[in-house]
Amino acid sequence: MEESLLIIYCSEGGRKALQKMSSEGFRLPSGVCTFELPCTGRINDVMLMETLQNGVRGIFVAGCREENCKYLDGNKRALRRIKRIKKLLSDAGIEGKHIEMQTFGPDEGKRLYSAINDFAGKVGVS
Amino acid sequence: MNDKKIVAVLCDHGCRNGSKIKYDELKTNLKKSEVIEDFLLVNKACDSGVEFLDAYKGRKILFGGCSLLEERGIYSKIKERLGLKNGEFRSFDVKADLYDLYPDKVNLEELLVCKILSMGTLLYHAEPYEEERIKPAEGILVYGDGITALRTARALAEEDISVEVLETGEQFLSPGLFSQHFGRPDQRGLSSVVSADERRKSERNRVAGFKNVRFLPSDAFLSFETVEDGFVFTFKSGEKRKFGTVVIAPEREEEQSRETGALNLTDLYGKIVCGEPLKGEVVFLLDYAADTSPEVFKDVLLAGKYIKRRFASEVRILMKNAKVSVSGAQELYDECREQGIIFFKYLEDLTLKNNYGDFEIEGTDLYTGDKFLIKEPDILVIPGRSILSPRSKNFAEALELLTISDRYPQPDSLWRLPNETNRPGVFVAYPTGDNSIASLLFSVRARLSTAGIAVNEHIPVVDEDKCVYCLTCVRVCPFKAMTTDSESRVAKVLRTVCQGCGSCAAECPAEAIQLRNLTGESLYQGIRALG
C-alpha cells in the first residue's frame, strides 16, 4: 500500500457519486483503492489509525450530503469523528492532512473527482 | 469462526471489451492468499447456467459480475442451487465498482486481486445465518383530530382495516390551506368553499359511522414503549394496547406574511380562486426560512404551472433543497421546465432585500456558478412554515421522532418516502390533500401485508460481558433501535427497527458491539487486504 490512497465510501450517496463520476468519463488516479461501508458512520478511530499505520498515504472518506444520509446522521457523526482524529494526529506530530472527509450528492461526480485529485495532490500521490 | 474457504468467480463478458487481463497470473496471485481456495473464470454468466459451480458445493462463493446478473436473478439461482445460506455468498459489481473507475492503462490484475481479497476477507469472516422475519402487530393508531387525521382514518376504514383514533382534543385547525378547502388549483370553484370547522365536523360524523373505527378520548395516553413488533401504549385507564403502526397527522399553519408584502401559498391560492390576474414576473422562493417539504413543493409546481398556462407570466422558482420525492412530482417538474418555468438552485449566499414591498433577490446558481439578481418581481411567493400543533408536537417528541427547527416531523432525506419517519412503523399524514393520503396508504398497506419485516444482515450483536451499560449506543442510534435491559444491565437491540448502519459499533467505547457479518476485525483485515 506504499504511495497509495484509500477511498472509503458509503454504499448510498458515496457510491452513487463515484458511479456518476465514472459515467461522466472521469477516472481515479492509479494507486487509489476503494472500500465500501454501509454508512460512513461505521468509521472509527482504530480503523483509520490502523490503515494509516499500514502505510497508506491518505484516506479520503466520501459520504452522503448532509441531511441526506439514509441513516439520518451517520455522515455528521463521521465528520465530527474525523475532525477529532485529525486533531489527534496533529497533536501526535503527524499532519492531519492525511485524512479527509467530504460529503457528496449522487449527482456530484465532477466535484468528487476534483476533491479526490486535490487530496491526492495534497498528500503527494499522483 | 468458520473455516470455509472462498471460491472466487469472475464473469468476463462484455464488461470490458478487449481486456487483456492475464488470468493465470491473477489465479496464482489469488491462490497465495489464505482465504481463497480457487478462482474461476466464466464467460457470459448471465446466459450460461449455474451448473458449473456444482463441484464447489459447501464452499462460500464470491461472485464478481455486472448488474445484469442481479437483474436476471443469477445470484439467487446460485444460492438456491448450492444451498448457500445468508453470509455464505457475496457479490460485487465488477464493472461499476472497479473497471469503470480506473483509466485503461492501469494495472487491472493488481486491482482485481486487491478487490477480490478484500471482499473475500469480509466473506471469510462472515457467519452463515438464517433469515428472520418478524411480523408487525395488528392495531393501527391515528393521532390527531384535524381533517387529515379523519381522512386517513376513513381511508383505512374503507379498506376494512380497524383503526383507533386518538384525538388531541384541541381543535387546532389550519387557517385555510388551499388543497384542503378548495380543491386543486385547476379544479377550483368558489361554490365548494366550506369552512374548515364544518368540514371537520361532517368528516368526523362520517368516520364515526364506520364500525371498525374507535375513537379514544383525548389526552388518554400516558406512556409508551417500543417493542420489536410495534408500540405498547399505556392509557390512563390502565389499559395497555399494542399497535404495530402509528400514523401521526399534524395540522399545518402558515405564517401571516401580509406585512412583508410577499404572499404565502394560502394567499396565492386565494388570488387564484378569486380569479385575480397574476401577470408579470412571479417568483417562488422556497427553502428560505425553513426547508420546504416535498408535498409543498408539489403544490408550488402545480400553482406555477397553472399561472404560467393561464396568464403566460414569467414564473421563476428559486430553491435550495426541495425534493421531488412525492409521487408525480418528478413528472410535474419536467412539465414545468418544458413550459418554460425557470428554476434556480441557489447556494447559501442568498440575500433578500425588502424595500417597502419592492424585493430584490440576489444569489448564486449551484450548477452554472453564475450570480443572479431578481429585481422587483410583480409577485413574490414565500411558502410559510409548517408546524405541528402543540399536542402533536409533544406526541412526536414522546415517540422520539426527529423534527426540524419549526417542529415539523422529519428533516427531508432522499432515501425516505415523505410520509416515513425515522421510527419504522410511524408514518406522517401530511395535510396536503388526497395525494399524500394515497402515498401514506401505500406505505401502511405495505407494512400490514408484509410476511414480516426482514431483520437486517448487519444488526449489532452486543457482547454482554463487555457491555458497561453506558448507553452510548442508545444515544447515537438514529432509529432508536437500542434499548436497555435494566435487569441484566446490558444494551438490547430491537431487531426490526435496526437498519444496520453501524453507528453504535463505531461509537461503543467498550467495543462490546459488533455488526453481524461486518465485525471490526473483519473490516480492518478487509482494508488491509487492499495492500
Q: Tell if the CB–CB gap between B103 and A27 is shorter than 8 Å.
A: yes
User: Which secondary-structure segment (H or E) carries B355?
Assistant: strand B351-355
| Fold for the domain defined by B278-381 | FAD/NAD(P)-binding domain (3.50.50)
pLDDT digits (tens, 9 = 90+) for B414-473: 777 778 888 888 998 876 656 678 878 888 888 888 888 889 999 999 999 999 999 999
- Would you state the cell numbers that stand for residue B501, as one nine-digit string? 448502519
Q: Tell if the CB–CB gap between B106 and A18 is shorter than 8 Å.
A: no
Q: Which of A19, A47, A72 is closest, CB to CB, to B527?
A: A47
In this predicted structure, the answer to whether residue B327 has a pLDDT above a threshold of 50 is yes
Q: Tell if the CB–CB gap between A6 and B118 is shorter than 8 Å.
A: no
- Look up the CATH superfamily of A5-123: Lumazine/riboflavin synthase (3.40.50.960)
Using CA atoms, how far apart are residues A46 and B125, in angstroms rounded to an integer? 19
In this predicted structure, the answer to whether residue B513 has a pLDDT above a threshold of 80 is yes
Best probe of the A interface among B348, B503, B525, B528, by most A CBs < 10 A, is B503
Options 2.20.180, 3.10.450, 3.20.20, 3.40.50; which CATH number does B6-129 get? 3.40.50
- CATH class of the domain whose range is B139-253+387-449: alpha beta
Average pLDDT of the residues in B353-359: 81
Smallest CA–CA distance from B113 into chain A, residue: A33
pLDDT band for position B3 (50/70/90)? low
Q: Tell if the CB–CB gap between B478 and A106 is shorter than 8 Å.
A: no
Using CA atoms, how far apart are residues B404 and B384, in angstroms rounded to an integer? 14
In this predicted structure, the answer to whether residue B158 has a pLDDT above a threshold of 60 is yes
Instruction: For chain B, say whether A110 makes contact (Cβ under 8 Å).
Output: no
Per CATH, B6-129 and B139-253+387-449 having the same topology is answered no
Annotate B361-411 with DSSP letters as a single string.
EEEEBTTT--EEEEES-SEEE--------HHHHHHHHHTT--B-TTS-B--
Question: Looking at beta carbons, which residues of chain A come within 8 Å of B122?
Answer: none
Give the position of cell 433577490: B361
The residue extents of the domains of chain A are 5-123
In terms of phi and psi (left: phi > 0; alpha: psi -120 to 50; beta: otherwise), the region of B393 is alpha
pLDDT digits (tens, 9 = 90+) for B174-204: 444 444 444 443 344 443 445 566 777 888 8
Q: Tell if the CB–CB gap between A68 and B97 is shorter than 8 Å.
A: no
Q: Which of B98, B118, B412 is closest, CB to CB, to A67?
A: B412
- Would you state the cell numbers that stand for residue A6, as one nine-digit string? 484509500
Annotate chain A with DSSP letters as a single string.
-TT-EEEEEETTHHHHHHHHHHHTT--PPTTEEEEEES-GGG--HHHHHHHHHTT-SEEEEEEEPTT--TTSSHHHHHHHHHHHHHHHHHHTTS-GGGEEEEEE-TT-HHHHHHHHHHHHHHHT--
The residue extents of the domains of chain B are 6-129, 139-253+387-449, 278-381, 456-515
Q: Distance of CA A58 to CAs A31, B111, B118, B531, Å?
A: 11, 18, 18, 13
Percent of chain B with pLDDT over 70: 88
Question: Looking at beta carbons, which residues of chain A come within 8 Å of B414?
Answer: 68, 106
Q: Tell if the CB–CB gap between B500 and A23 is shorter than 8 Å.
A: no
Choose among B431, B430, B388: nearest CA to B407: B388
A86: closest CA of chain B, how far (Å): 17
Predicted local confidence at residue B18, as pLDDT: 52
CB neighbourhood size of B407 (10 A):
17
In this predicted structure, the answer to whether residue B396 has a pLDDT above a threshold of 70 is yes
User: Which secondary-structure segment (H or E) carries B304?
Assistant: helix B294-311
| A101 φ, ψ (degrees, to nearest 5) | -130, 140
pLDDT digits (tens, 9 = 90+) for B112-123: 888 899 999 999
Using CA atoms, how far apart are residues A2 and A120, in angstroms rounded to an integer? 14
User: Model ipTM?
Assistant: 0.90
In this predicted structure, the answer to whether residue B413 has a pLDDT above a threshold of 90 is no
Using CA atoms, how far apart are residues A27 and A21, in angstroms rounded to an integer? 7
Smallest CA–CA distance from B526 into chain A, residue: A35
CB neighbourhood size of B334 (10 A):
11
| Fold for the domain defined by B456-515 | Alpha-Beta Plaits (3.30.70)
